[in-house]
Structure 1
Amino acid sequence: MQDFIKDLESSLQRGFIDQTHPNKGDHQPQLLLNSKQAKQEVLSSLTEELDHCYSFLFSVAFITEQGLATLKSHLLDLKLKGISGRLLTSTFLTFNQPAVFRELLKMTNLDVRVTDVQGFHAKGYIFEQPTHYTLIVGSSNLTASALQVNHEWNVKLTSHENGEIIHHFYNQFEEMWQTATSVTESWIEEYAKVYEQAKSLPEQVAELPTSYETNPWQQAVTIEPNTMQQNAMQQLETVRAEGNDKALIISATGTGKTYLAAFDVRRYTPKRMLFIAHREQILKKAKADFQRVLGGPDYDYGLLSGSHRDLEAKYVFATIQTLSREEQLQNFSREDFDYILIDEVHKAGALSYQRVMDYFTPDFFMGMTATPERTDDVNIYELFDYTIAYEIRLQEALEEDMLCSFQYFGVTEFEQNGRLIDDTTTLTDLVTEERVGHLIDKIHYYGWSGDYVRGLIFCSQKEEAHHLSAAMNKQGYRTVALTGDDSQEERLRRIDELENGDLEYILTVDIFNEGVDIPSINQVVMLRQTESSIIFIQQLGRGLRKHDSKDFLTVIDFIGNYKKNYLIPIALSGDKSQNKDNIRRRMKDTSYIHGVSSIHFEEVAKKKIFESINSENLMQMSILKDAYQELKNRLGRIPYLTDFQNHHSIDPEVLVGKAHNYHSFLLKMKEDIQLYTKHEDQVLTMFSQDILPGKRKHEVILLDMLLRDGVVTQSAFIDDLMKVGCRTDEATLTSVERIFNLEFFTVQDQKKYGEQPIVVKENGTYRWTTEVKRQLEQNENFRAFVQDIVTVGSQKMQHYSCVEPFQLHEKYSRKDTMKLLNWENDEKATVFGYKVKYNTCPIFITYKKESDVENSVNYRDEFINKNMFSWYSKSRRTLNSKDVQQILNADRNQISLYIFIKKDDGEGNHFYYLGQASPDKFSAEETEMVDEDKKLPVVRMDLHLERSVDKKLYRYLID
């Protein structure tokens, strides 16, 4: 407690008295904002405090269903820990909908009361933490907009339990709480009557800020081209002006591809147009949308499908099944249509599409799809001459407010006999009464937006869908199972019943992944393991179309003990890098989702995903090959590493990690790009492994200069380093030279890299060695590979500091650390926990040890808080040991301590950099650890970090 008080005093000194105070505390006052640029949300601070509190109090005037949804999984996790809280709200201006109060009743660890104090407009959140209280007070109500988007000011304060300010808030809360009314079902029924009366008198709510949430009775507006459509039409004009007669539009589901096509046709004014799709349902909807945009008499619009044969219409809407028949094609001349559109064009690899595309010769061919990626060796890009007019994916579409916002909940699958459902679970166990109860509990708790549920449940197999539907119907639900065995007519009938409210759920297996337009869907349930990020997005997209009946979509994803759980953050973020650390970051930080959409995982589900990331091999050659082929298809040529980087595909580091260098990878892809000598391959390996990651800019900059000029004076090199603010001290320059002449590396690495210098320094000038110079001059492929590495390295190095050796919270291997600290040699083989050398001491910590780790190295290292770490020396050390004394007297000895940490061995050999630290001499103590009945001396001490650990990283490491 004394440490906390000292920390709090230091924090308050900096926060309220002197901003230059050298605060090392973690409790200074903060202004909480919603800032897209800074990737900040009030919500993240709120949930961080909520997740680790002992109790909490909320006092908020306005609450919306979506705002409440952002806390549901967090409140459920607290319930499982036996933690509860209280919420005080009001009916001020009848803003709060009755549905909100019904949702609040689902949270049984939340006691809710309503005050009748006139003008109640308080917004405050109080959390009881193990050592203190946290107070967040300001302008944010419990609405998604206020917590994530609006310009809000909130102050976060920390108080000791005896602090006066916290008692003032508590007393105010208790005073109002005692006179407030408990929320019950009967109270909600009475309030609903009052609310309906207010709803019929819109003038009474005119004072409400419109940005809190969409008004549920807002009138629809006249359709106009959205941002995507306007930009895409301009790009299509440019494409045609450049002489192209084919183009692809890649656009996320729900962003208005059909209307875009109609707008473009209106601008193009063709004599005749042909619209092709694979289902009659799509055609009928498209025909209605086109007529709404283009106008004109009904006879201008015709169908070619089933029994419809409207061959003379100006605008023909045809199914591919009917149109591709030889007898139907002969009804048209090749030049009949000057504008042809193919919807869901990722299917165009089929022979039926090929027959149609080969037959017609329009002035312009446009293909539209949300998912151009194929796994059947068909190159959709090639069909459209590699011309992509416009592309917008899920994250961009959300940012542009084209889609309905969503609340994603990764929930824990059913556990039977202590075992979560996994890849091997049999059908019998999937349809037990207990699992059905678990399913119903979750979909009820997480709910939906709107008057009643219109849900899709995606199952893993047909029998499961039928059994679960029957079981849910016995529980009073109105559901039906639809599979590929059901006719198109049956599917359409059931969709109508869902939209009309006669059905609540359709349970299906994949048939609704695409080509189905049900905008009113307000709940998507994924009751199957994720096997493909593409299918995941397709199923998510079923509910992302905007509709007047909903404010947001609820997505409930049941996460069991599945091997491919790692695909979930990949699908949600669109990160295709296959870089495990990137994927972990997507789990810790979901700021890539824009607007009022948010992503939440129950605690157990989150752990299962991290386990999957750690255990799964994301560098499988099959995965890399698919990504390679997809990018090659898109470009129409062999891609370089730079292409992977620019197209946000596989991380180049992953590719060269799999095959030493990219040339070796291309050979595995059966590409015929030869190098002349083994040494060329070895040089590429060295550049790929040690320079491409860009963790020190110096090597990248020097390579770039050498490629451009052939020889580089040291003074010119120093000038270029100084332009970008890099260190130019002698030790760093010498370290760079030892990298290029290979002296830094171990004997094993030197053999791998060719055993001879690559760049040498003579008379103050850097130059290629004779052999490398000749190779660059005589082999264009070799030079292109080197240039490619430099280009990627130049992009990657922007993430790293050029002044300090390390970038806070980035990851480094032991080898990286030795290099960046300017050690003469790579000594990773002799550096285990730490090593003092050259006035530096890197300390490497594995936070969670494996259960079978030897006791002699099973140190009990742990965070005390975000600024302080309880750390143990190597075993067989006392306070008088040389290395212990060097560390304890680091300041006096001018030794810099650098702290590196990883959560567990599943993260490989790279560690997060937490910054420099200083030891607390007074905390140092001799203690013991037991190994095979032997007591080994060890020293424990507290290390003070110069910078607080990022809160998301901190929670990831300790949870």
Structure 2
Amino acid sequence: MLKTSREPKLLTSNLIDEVLHHIQLSSTIYLLSAFVMKSGVKMVLPALKEAAARGADIKILTGDYLYVTQPEALSLLSELPHDQVEVRLWQSNGRSFHPKAFLFNVKDQGSLIVGSSNLSKSALTSGVEWNVSIPNEVSGEVYKDALEQYIHLFYAENTMKVNHETLKTYREQHAAFRQKYPDLAQKWSAKEEVELTLGPDTHPEEINEPSEPYITTQQKPSPRFAQPEALDSLQTTYEEGYDKAMVVMATGLGKTYLAAFFAEHFNRILFVAHREEILHQAKASFEHVNVGKLAGIYNGKEKNADADMIFASIFTLSIQDHLKRFNPDDFDLIIVDEFHHASSRSYQKVLDYFSPKFLMGITATPERTDGQDIFALCDGNVAYEMNFIQAIQGGWLSPFHYYGVYDDIDYSEITWLGGRYDEEELAQAQLQEHTADNILSNWEKHKQTRTIGFCSSIKQANFLSRYFNSHGYQTISLHSKTEGMSRKEAIDKLDRKEIDVIFTVDLFNEGVDIPSVDTLLFARPTESLVVFTQQIGRGLRKHIEKTHCTVIDLIGNYRNADVKLKLLGTEEGEGKKKGQVHPVTPANCEINLDVKAVQLLEELLKKRSPRKDRVKLAYDQVKEQLGRRPTYWEMHLNSTVSVKEFKQIWKSYAGFLSANDELTIEEQTIYETYKDWIEEVERTPMTKSYKMVVLKYMLDRGEVDWVQSVTPEEIAPYFHSYLTEKPYRKNIDFTSKNTKALIEYDKKKVANLVSEMPLTKWSGSSKGLLVYENNVFSLNFEVPTKDRALLKKMTEEICEYRLKYYFERKWKKE
């Protein structure tokens, strides 16, 4: 066994000895390797399995740059237990990815190893490599910074988790690349520095600036805007027995103050966010409302774990050693800001660990049109929702005048990479003088006084800024590489009208308020409806000098070009006329489209992907996200389409799975044999939950006995218990005149209710599949013992979905 040196040391050979030694000792094991090879993974895999068995927090990040990482290596890593080990792949899209680092820690004793070695046998043993091992107590802030930066990198948007489904995709991409570039496959090391695309400029980081002090008045504030109504709804939700809920409120309505008001009802609070300035602003807001409660920050620099109200960086808190500093029940209320980020693994890890009395998610953008759905994290329970259209109608946000101008770039010729367009190809199309002139002329035609221009890349922002300046305007390009001007200085100049436009790349999506901005210029295709909604919100705050916000948007034949217009219309207007281009807008708002833009949108509407293809694509996205076949309920929570479409097209979710070869051979046989039963459970009408509660009782009797007949008297205790154990179930389904007396349990009365309603009604509408005679309820078909377990599983999946969806829908209606 190696002795652990507490001094920095240079390692030029046999790095594997040092790595294995630290793996054996550490509770935190974070590996960062530009690529991984099967030979290297084999050397560390046994030690990693042992570390996972003892509960170590293990993360491994590698990249797909030049497709050097071997699929076989990723396959080996995927053998590690998923509950303890996370493996993610950096999707470089040609951007060079070369980091090599190993971070180890146990009780603040560990090391940071940085150098040249990737996870391959030669790099870990006999290759010419230089690595430096620095104990974390020696490196001090460097180690802490490395830990924080690792988590940022690990959960970056362009990383994907490695699972069975994503590995299949990577294998295909790896094979295609090797076939296209056979020479590169053998000589990758000579070419690894070649920038195949735009390089580092295409993925800017946020500008790091000290947080501005959050100014508040001394007097304790009172709820305003939509806050009183939202508070009432939250309190009702809590009293109804829910332990989690989401609040959707448009930017500008005071989501953080709403959370602060709600927090007055709880003793100890944890507020979690992903950006430092949000933490400090939230701390000030909560202190303003919750007078007398001690507040503290928990991030990379401060570690206040004892305060009544803790404001924690998700990147710090999700590190296991920090998470375990708290007990799971330490907090009565946990608030997750910008809840649309909470589907990432870092948030899930934190939310899975804690058991608060109540979990509150707050966001302005819950759209189900951008991949993973955050409704899953709050069990589908939205306590309150007010989008920016409703806030405009309420008079709390500024109206908008939208101008959709024609963009002649042919986006069908630009490679779509699943979530975005290829940066190099997009830039080549955007950085043309005629394109810039089209943007400038439309801006001159519709602009007001202060503009934010949203761009696809730093290169486009710089290009447009130079072009506008050459035509006599004062503009700046503001991004992570900007030198000589901070974000605050740029905002102040825009506010004072010293500049006309700030061209930026994703810097003003969240947490930045510039009320005086009255013009938004979208010089980029809308790849994400979530981002589009956030950016629209930047111009809707009310200001004494503006009557409305002008939105100038380039509309081309890109994805979501037609869909996003629905975000600008009222619910009453959507879908009124099939194929309509103009949604119905609130009073004082306008939508104006170029003739060419209208023609383009109408053409796009005609070419929308066929319904079956769209549903299958949504299913594939959820399956890849989970790494396995989703259950019916998981599809409801995570899908970008309504799961009603499964029933409408295929008569059942199982029917969809069968039609798309997603069932095993055994499941296919069961589906074909009992198809009528599966469709009956899926499609039987439910004015109340009673039918599915009876079915749940039957299923809960076990794999063999679930098909046995039952009597109302047998069902009654379970039926009553299920519908009264949660206040919301009782209030929804146990409060009519006929059932009010049943809240105080009377077995005979409950049995009579069961007999009169679910048993009699269901047997009568089931087309002979169910029978209720002589006080006995039974299946009217035989299920051999060998079929019962699998049919139970398939039936249970439908029953779970229908019960949960029923109460979710009824709660929202209430």
Q: Could you say which structure has the greater relative contact order, defined with CA pairs below 8 angstroms and 6 or more residues apart? A: 2
- The two structures have a TM-score, normalised by structure 2, of 0.48
Larger strand percent: 1
Largest Rg, 1 or 2: 1
TM-score (norm 1): 0.42
